[in-house]
Structure 1
Amino acid sequence: MGTGVPLGGMAGIPADLTALVGRRTEVAEVRRLLSASRLVTLTGAGGVGKTRVALRTAATVTRAFRDGVCVVELAGLRDPKLLAHTVATALGLVNQSGRATLDVVTGHVRGRRLLLVLDNCEHLVDACARLADTLLRAAPGIRVLTTSRHVLGVTGEQVFVVPPLPTPVPSRRPSVRELLTCPAVELFGRRAAAVLPGFEVTQDNAEAVAQLVQRLDGLPLAIELAAARMRTLTLDEMLARLEDRFALLTLGSRTALPRQRTLRALMDWSHALCTERERALWARVSVFSGGFDLGAAAAVCAADDLPAEALVDVVDGLVEKSVLTRHEHGGRARYRMLETVREYGQDRLAASGTAAAYRRRHRDHYLGLTAQAQAQWFGPEQAAWFTRLRLDHANLRVALDYCLTEPGEATAGMRLAVTPRHYWITLGSLHEGRHWLDRLLAAERAQSPARATALGTYAYLGVLQGAIEEALPALDEYRAAAEHLEDASALAWARHHQALAAAFRWDLPRAAALFEAAATGHRALGDLGGATECTVKLAIAVWHLGDHDRALALCRECEAVTSAHGESWLRALTLFARGLLQWQGGDRDTTDGLAREAIRLMRPFHDWWDIAMCVELVAWSAEAAGATRRAAHLLGILRSLWETIGGTLSAAPFMAESHQRCEDAVRAALPAGEFDRAVRRGAAFSPAAALAYVLEEAPAPAPPPPRRPAHTGPDAPLTRREREVAGLVALGLSNKEIAASLVIAQRTAENHVERILAKLGFTSRSQVAVWVHEGRQGESASGAP
C-alpha cells in the first residue's frame, strides 16, 4: 500500500543574493511574534519586502526548529486545489497512496518541530487559511509564517505590517553621513553601485538621492528598479521622469517573478485581487492626498455603484489587502495610500473618464469643511478643528491646485485659501499661504468679495513676515474694495491689517485709532473673535502710548470673553500681551508663567509666530533670573523658530530693544565662545523638543559627544576580531560573506555584527562603514601605519 514518502530534501531557505538593508527591527519583532504565536502573517503593500523579511527571520530561528524550515513559494500557483500538493513537494513528500494529499502532509508534520513559511498567499488566501488551520491543529510542534497582502483570518493569527523603509525627513537637509544611516538611501546606494561601479552618495548628489527615495515612498522594489535605471539615466533625469513612474521603473531582475519585474505589473497583481467595488474605491480615493477618513470618503466617493452604507466593508477590504493603511488620530480612524499605490489609482480613475468629476467633489468637500471650521472657530472646538484641518493639509493643497488648473475655479480657490481666516498663521506657514494667494490673485483679476478677502489676507501675511512696504499697496487696494463692496466685515479687517502695519512701523497713534475702529466694527457685526483680536492688539498700542491702566483693563476684558466661550488661541494672545506689558512696566514676577501658559494653549495650533514671541518673554525672564545658559539656549531656539516660519523679530519692533538687551547681557555673562555654542545647541532642537525645553518638560541640550575615530590601540572599543568584522562590513559584505571570508559560522558573524553595533551605539551597517572610514582617514592624517 503506497504512502507519502520523502521525495528529496525539504525546500529550505533560499540564499540571499544581495544584503538585506534596514530590517533589523522588523526581523526582531517578527521573531518575537513567532515566539508567542504559532501563526504569524506579514502583510504590507506590494514591493515592500515581506518575503525578504520573512526569509531573514526564518534564517535567524532555524536552531529553534529541530526539523528545519520549509519555504513554500506560492506566487506561481493559481489553482487552490493544488496547494496541499505544492506544500507536500516542498516538504520533500510524494503521495503514492490514495489518501488526500493534505492528510499525507498532516501525517508527516505531526510530531515534528518545524517552521513552515508560506510565501505570497494573497491570491489563495482561503485555501491557505484552511491548510494552516488544519496543520496547526494536528501538529502542535509546527509554526507557520506567511506573507500576504491579505490576512488569513485564522484564530490565533498575529499580523505584522511590514512598513516601507525609512526615508529622510523632507524638511531637513541632512549631511551625507546622516543620509547613509537612512535605510532607503543605503539600499539605493548599494543597488546603484552594483549597476554603475563607483557610484556613491556624495554631498553633490545627496539631495537628489533623498528626493528620489522619498518620492518612491521608501518602497524597496521601487528603489531597486530605480537603481537599475542608473545604467542609462542620471539622478536628475530620473527625478524628472517620476511623474510617470510606471513607465520608468521597468528594469527588474530577469530571475524575479514576472509581477516583480516592473512596478506596474506589481500594481496590476494587487488590483486583480480586489473586488469590483474595491477597485472602484481604490481609483476614487486616489483623489485624496495624505489621508482621509470615512466621512470624507463617503462625501467624495459614494455613488449608485458604491453606496455610502457599503463603504466600511469596502475600506476594510482595501486595508486587508494592504492597498490602504489605517492610522488613528484623536479617536478617529484615517486611511492613506503609498504614493505609488495612489498614482496607480489615479491612472485607473483617468481611464474611467470620471477623474474631473471626483476631483471637483473632493474640492467641494474641503470647501464645506473649511467653512464649517470658520463658523465654529471662536469656541471650544477651535483646537479640534485646527488639528483636523492640519491632518488634511495635503488635501487642501490638492483642492487649491484643482482650483488653479481648472478654468473658472480660481474664485472658489480664493474662498478656500482664506478659510478659516487665521489658518496660515496658526499653521505657521506664512510663506505657503502667500504662495497660493499670489497665484490665485493672478489667475482671477475680476473684482469680487472673494478676491477682496484674498487680497487682504495676502497683504496681512506679508505684514507678519516683515514685508510691510510690499504689503501697503495691497492693503490700500483691499480697503478700497471693502468700501466699494460696502462689506462691513471686510472693512473692519482692512482696518485691523492697516493698524498692524502701522504698529510694526511704530506709528502707534494711527495703530491705536485703527485697532479701536476695527474692534468697534467687528463688535457691531457680532463678531466676537474679530473684536477680541483687535482689542488685544489695541491694549499693546495704548500701553506704549502711556495709558497703562486701560491697557491692562483691555487684557482682562479679553481674558473674560475668551474664557466664557472656551476659546484658546486668542486667550493665549491675551496672556502673552499681559505678560509683555507687565514686563515692560517692571512687574516681571508673573511674565514667565503667563508666557508659558500662552505657549501651552498655542501648542495644539503649531502657531510658531506667536509662540516665538512668547519664547522671547521666557528668554528675558531666564536672563533676569541669572539663568544665562538657559537664556542662551532659548535664544538659539528663537533663531530656529523664526527661520522655520520665514519671519523675523523685526516685524515686532515693540520687542526688539528688549531682545537686544537680553542677548547682550547673556553674551557678556558667558565665557568666550560659550554663548555661540549654547545658541547652536538650542537651535538644534526639533520644534517639539524646543517647546518641551521652553516649558521645562525636558533638560538642557547636551553638548555633542566628541567624535571618536576607529582605533587600533589597547583603548579600542572593539576586539581585534570585531575590528576585522567591522572592516568587512565597511566593504559591503553580508553576514554570510563575512562568515565565508573568516571561515566562521554565519551565526557567529551575525553575533559579531550585533556586538559591534551595540558597542558603538549604532543602528545600521552604513554607520559602521563611516566609522571605519573616518578611523582610516585619521590614521592616514597622523602618519599611523
Structure 2
Amino acid sequence: MATTRSTASVRGALPAELTSFVGRRHELSETRRLLASSRILTLTGAGGVGKTRLALRMAAEVRRTFPDGVWFVELAALHDPQLVPHTVANTLELRQVSADPASDLAAYLEPRRLLVVLDNCEHLTDACAVLVSKLLAAAPDLRILATSRHVLGVEGEQILAVPPLSTPAAQVTAGDAAHYESVRLFLDRAAAVAPDFEVADGNRDAVVELCRRLDGIPLAIELAAVWLRTLSPVQILDRLEDRFRLLTSGRSAVPARHQALDAAVGWSYELCSPAEQLLWERLSVFSGGFDLEAAEEVCSGEGLPTADVLNLVASLVNKSIVIRIQATSHTTAWYQMLETIRQYGEERLAAGAMRDLRVSHRNHYRSLAERFAAEGFGQHQADWYIRLRREQGNFRAALEFALEDPGEAAAVFDIAAPLWNFWFAGFLREGYRYLTRAIDVAREPTPARAHGLWAAAYLALIAGDLGRTGTMLAEASDLAERFDDDLLRARIAELRGHSVLYHGDLPAAIALLEDARARFRALDEPVGEFDTLVLLAAATFFLQDPRDGEFSQQALALTEQHGALSSKAYALWCVGIASWRAGEYRRAVDNLRECVRLFQPLNDLTGIGFGVQALSWCAASTSPDERAARLLGASHAVWRISGAKIDETSPYSQVEKGSQEAVAAAIGAAAFERAFADGASYSLDEAMSLAMGDDAGAEPPTSALSGRGGAEAPGGLTRREREVAELLAEGLSNKEIAARLVISQRTVETHVEHVLGKLGISSRAQVASWVAEHLSR
C-alpha cells in the first residue's frame, strides 16, 4: 500500500500583525542573510525601535523553509528564569515535560527543522543563554531568532543592531519626504486616525521635523501620529518640543533615541487626563494583558470609580496606549500594553501604591481560580479553559507575588490548587512547581494546605514523581481527618484508585474508585463523580468487565446534564473504547473522532493523544494493514509531541503492545516496522489527518473525483484540504470554515497554508478559480 503521508506542513505559532508593516527592506535582507548563515541571531536595539515587528515579519517570510514550524515565544510577562524552558516547551506544544524540561526540549528538537523566535529576552538573559546553548548543541537543524536589548553571549551568536527608521534631512520636498521610512510610517498610522490627512506644503516641515526629533523610533512616531485626531502636526511638534526641553535639562548624556522615546511616551502621558494617567499607572500591574472585569476590580478605588473604568480604557485605546484584541466566540475583549508603555506606567507608581495594587491583583486571581473551581464543570467549560490560558501571565504574577513573602505563601494554595485541571491540561510541571514551593514554605496545617497537598499529589502522580505522591497524600489524609473534610476524603480516595489503576491492580482500583464515586455523589460534586466514572470506565475496560459501557454512558450523561463540552470529550473516549470492546467498530470510531474534535479547540494534546491512540487500537483489530501500522506509529508521534508519558507496565501499554503484535502478524514484521516508523515521524497535523480519516485511501473517492480512472487527487490535496478549498471558494472566513467543519480555527489556518502551498498560489481569491477548473469536473 502506498504511503499517504502529505507534504511537509507549515506549522507553528505566530501572532497576527495588527497593523501594516512599513519599510525595513535592508534590515529584512540582512536578517535573512544572517539567519541563513548562523543558527542563533539576536536583534538588539532600544525599546520601541521595532525589534519584535522585524522578527515577526522575518519569521512569517521564512516559515515555509521550516517544515516543523516557526514558533513565537513571548517572554515579556515571564519573570521566573526557571520557567523559561517550560514556556518554550508549552509554545512548541510539548506539554507534560519532566523535572528537566530543557533536556526534554533538546530530545524533542533533535530530529526537527524549525525556527524559534524568543522575544524580549533582556530580563532573562542568563536563563535564555543557557537554554539556547543546550538546544543548539542537541538540534543541528534548529534556528533561533532572539530579540533583546542585550546580547545573549551564546557561542556562535550573530548580532544585528536594529536601527531607527530612516529620517529626512531638514529640507525636502513634499514628494521626497514620503521616500523616508519614518515619514511613511507616520502617514500610514495617520491614515488610520485621520483618513484625509496628507503631507503638503503647509505641514511638510512640521511632519519632517517630527520624524527627525523622534529619531525615527517607530513606537514614538506611532504615539505622535495618533494625536492627529485632535491636533495638527504643528501643534504636536510644539508640545513635543516642550517635552524635549524638560527631558534634556540635566540629562545631556542621555542618547538621542532614548530621549525621543521618553519624549513621546511622556508627552502622551501628560496629554492624558489625571484619571487616564491613574488608570495607565494601575494597569501596569497586569502581566500579558487584561480584560475589562479585571481592570474594573483591580484598578478602581481611591479616586477611580468602577463605573469610570470602561470609558477610561476606551480613551486609552483611542490614544494607542492600550491595544484592544478582538473577542472571539469563546472570549471577551482583551487588552494589552506594549512593554515599554507598561513599564512607563509602573515607574510612575509609588512603592506603597504598587504593593497595594499587587495585593488587589493577587486577590482578583484568587477569586478567579475559585470561580473556575465552582463553574468549570458547566456550559462555559471551554470558555474557562481558553480564558485561563490567556490569563496565565497574570496567574504567574499573582503566584510569584505570594511566594515573595513566606507569610503570604499560603495564598498559593488558594490559587494553584483549584486550577489542578488546568495544570493537567497542558502546564503540569508549572503547577506542580508552584504548589511544592508553597508546601515547602507555608507549613502551617490548614485546610488550604490540605487541598494544596492533594492537588500537588495528583500532579506528581501524572508527572511520575511517585515517591513524593505518597508522602503528600499521607499528610493530606491526616489533615482531612483533622478538619473532618469529606470533599478531601473523596478526592484522596479517587487519587489512590487512580494510582492503583496506573500500576495495574485493576480490582483494587475499582473498589477505591467506587468508594470515591459514592462520596462525591453524597456531596453533590459532579466534577469529582465524572472523573471517577472515567477512571472506572477505563479500569473495567482493561479488566474486560461488562460494566465499562454502563460507566461510560453515565459519564457522558453527566457531561450532557451540565453542558460540560470539554469533559464530554473524555466521556466519548470512554464510550468509544467500550464500543470497540463490544465489537461496535463504526460506533467506536465515530465517538473517538468526535472526542478528538472536541479536544482540538482547547489544543489539549494529552486528550488528543488518548483519542488517536484508541483509534489506532480500533484500526489494528478490524483492518490490520499498513495503514493501521502507520496509525499506531502516528499515535506515538502525538504522545511524543504532547510530552505525556505512559508507563510501559500500565494497562494502556499492554493494549498498545497487543495491537502492534496483531498488525505485525498480519502484514509481516518488516512491513510493520516500515509503516510504523513512517507514522511515528508524522507531524501533529499529519497524524490527526490520518486518525480522522482525512488521508487519501482512508475512504472511497469523493464524487468530485469519481470517474477519473484512479488518478491522484487534483493538486495533491487530501479530502479535508479539498473541503477547505471549496469553502474558501465560497468566500468563507477561517472562523466560518471552522464552524462549518467542526474543527478549530487554528487547524483551518494550517489547512489553508497547505492548500496555498500545494497549489502554488498566494491568495485565497485564486483558490476559487482553481476549484472551478479542477473540482467541478
After superposition, the Cα gap between the structure-2 partners of 1:282 and 1:690, relative to the gap in structure 1 and judged at 3 Å, is farther
1:347 maps to what in 2? 347
Provide the secondary structure at the position in 2 that maps to 1:520: helix
Percent of paired sites with the same residue: 29
2:246 maps to what in 1? none
1:272 maps to what in 2? 267
Shift of 1:673: 6.8
Deviates more, 1:519-528 or 1:461-470: 461-470
Provide the secondary structure at the position in 2 that maps to 1:329: coil
Q: Deviations over 1:462-484 (max 9, x none)?
A: 22233334422222222222122
Shift of 1:651: 7.5
CA–CA distance in 2 between the matches of 1:322 and 1:206?
42
2:614 maps to what in 1? 617
After superposition, the Cα gap between the structure-2 partners of 1:280 and 1:690, relative to the gap in structure 1 and judged at 3 Å, is farther
Which of the numbers 642, 645, 650 marks the counterpart of 1:648? 645
CA–CA distance in 1 between the matches of 2:111 and 2:508?
52
1:234 maps to what in 2? 153
| Kept after mapping to 1: 8 A contact 2:537/2:549 | yes
CA–CA distance in 1 between the matches of 2:116 and 2:513?
53
CA–CA distance in 1 between the matches of 2:360 and 2:491?
31
Q: Deviations over 1:216-253 (max 9, x none)?
A: 4xxxxxxxxx4xx66xx8359999xxxxxxxx999999
1:748 maps to what in 2? none
Which of the numbers 575, 580, 583 marks the counterpart of 1:583? 580
CA–CA distance in 2 between the matches of 1:467 and 1:418?
18
Deviates more, 1:492-501 or 1:531-540: 531-540
Shift of 1:301: 1.1
CA–CA distance in 2 between the matches of 1:587 and 1:562?
23
CA–CA distance in 2 between the matches of 1:264 and 1:607?
46
Provide the secondary structure at the position in 2 that maps to 1:326: strand
1:373 maps to what in 2? 372
2:293 maps to what in 1? 295
Count of matched residue pairs = 520
CA–CA distance in 2 between the matches of 1:293 and 1:663?
49
2:518 maps to what in 1? 520
| Kept after mapping to 1: 8 A contact 2:500/2:506 | yes
CA–CA distance in 2 between the matches of 1:601 and 1:761?
32
CA–CA distance in 1 between the matches of 2:291 and 2:29?
31
Which of the numbers 636, 660, 684 marks the counterpart of 2:657? 660
Shift of 1:340: 3.5
| Kept after mapping to 2: 8 A contact 1:535/1:554 | yes
CA–CA distance in 2 between the matches of 1:436 and 1:680?
34
CA–CA distance in 1 between the matches of 2:296 and 2:512?
46
| Kept after mapping to 1: 8 A contact 2:629/2:672 | no
1:436 maps to what in 2? 434
| Kept after mapping to 1: 8 A contact 2:595/2:611 | yes
Structure 2-normalised TM-score?
A: 0.58
2:361 maps to what in 1? 362
Deviates more, 1:618-627 or 1:326-335: 618-627
Which structure's relative contact order is higher, taking Cα pairs within 8 Å and 6+ residues apart?
2
Unaligned runs of 5+ in 2: 1-22, 32-46, 56-69, 75-87, 93-104, 123-134, 170-211, 218-255, 699-756, 763-777
Letter matched to residue 48 of structure 1: G
1:309 maps to what in 2? 307
Provide the secondary structure at the position in 1 that maps to 2:326: strand
Provide the secondary structure at the position in 2 that maps to 1:354: helix
Shift of 1:514: 1.0
1:562 maps to what in 2? 559
Superposition CA RMSD, Å? 4.6
Q: Deviations over 1:570-618 (max 9, x none)?
A: 4332322232233345443422222122223333444333331221111
After superposition, the Cα gap between the structure-2 partners of 1:658 and 1:539, relative to the gap in structure 1 and judged at 3 Å, is closer
After superposition, the Cα gap between the structure-2 partners of 1:176 and 1:379, relative to the gap in structure 1 and judged at 3 Å, is closer
2:458 maps to what in 1? 460
Letter matched to residue 299 of structure 1: E
Q: Which has the larger radius of gyration?
A: 1
Shift of 1:490: 0.2
CA–CA distance in 1 between the matches of 2:265 and 2:697?
50
| Kept after mapping to 2: 8 A contact 1:326/1:334 | yes
CA–CA distance in 2 between the matches of 1:473 and 1:176?
38
Deviates more, 1:616-625 or 1:295-304: 616-625
Structure 1-normalised TM-score?
A: 0.58
Letter matched to residue 661 of structure 1: G
CA–CA distance in 2 between the matches of 1:410 and 1:209?
39
After superposition, the Cα gap between the structure-2 partners of 1:308 and 1:238, relative to the gap in structure 1 and judged at 3 Å, is farther
Shift of 1:364: 0.9
Unaligned runs of 5+ in 1: 1-15, 25-44, 54-164, 189-201, 217-225, 240-247, 702-757, 764-785
CA–CA distance in 2 between the matches of 1:592 and 1:453?
38
Matched ranges for 1:462-541 at <5 A: 462-541=460-539
After superposition, the Cα gap between the structure-2 partners of 1:297 and 1:621, relative to the gap in structure 1 and judged at 3 Å, is same
CA–CA distance in 2 between the matches of 1:238 and 1:266?
28
Provide the secondary structure at the position in 1 that maps to 2:647: helix
Shift of 1:345: 3.0
Shift of 1:672: 7.9
CA–CA distance in 2 between the matches of 1:181 and 1:653?
35
After superposition, the Cα gap between the structure-2 partners of 1:593 and 1:469, relative to the gap in structure 1 and judged at 3 Å, is farther
CA–CA distance in 2 between the matches of 1:273 and 1:499?
60
Letter matched to residue 674 of structure 2: E
Letter matched to residue 679 of structure 2: V
2:237 maps to what in 1? none
Shift of 1:265: 4.8
1:285 maps to what in 2? 283
CA–CA distance in 2 between the matches of 1:377 and 1:305?
35
1:194 maps to what in 2? none
CA–CA distance in 2 between the matches of 1:180 and 1:529?
40
After superposition, the Cα gap between the structure-2 partners of 1:295 and 1:234, relative to the gap in structure 1 and judged at 3 Å, is same
1:19 maps to what in 2? 26
| Kept after mapping to 2: 8 A contact 1:47/1:266 | no
| Kept after mapping to 2: 8 A contact 1:249/1:262 | no
CA–CA distance in 1 between the matches of 2:71 and 2:517?
50
Matched ranges for 1:216-227 at <5 A: 216=148, 226=149
Matched, 1:391 2:390: yes
Matched, 1:573 2:548: no
Matched, 1:598 2:595: yes
CA–CA distance in 1 between the matches of 2:688 and 2:309?
40
| Kept after mapping to 1: 8 A contact 2:457/2:472 | yes
Shift of 1:544: 4.5
After superposition, the Cα gap between the structure-2 partners of 1:50 and 1:444, relative to the gap in structure 1 and judged at 3 Å, is closer
1:777 maps to what in 2? none
CA–CA distance in 1 between the matches of 2:468 and 2:166?
57
Provide the secondary structure at the position in 1 that maps to 2:407: coil
| Kept after mapping to 2: 8 A contact 1:430/1:646 | no
CA–CA distance in 1 between the matches of 2:595 and 2:71?
35
1:412 maps to what in 2? 411
CA–CA distance in 1 between the matches of 2:52 and 2:647?
53
Q: Deviations over 1:27-48 (max 9, x none)?
A: xxxxxxxxxxxxxxxxxx9433
Provide the secondary structure at the position in 1 that maps to 2:335: strand
Which of the numbers 625, 632, 639 marks the counterpart of 2:636? 639
Provide the secondary structure at the position in 1 that maps to 2:26: coil
Provide the secondary structure at the position in 2 that maps to 1:649: coil
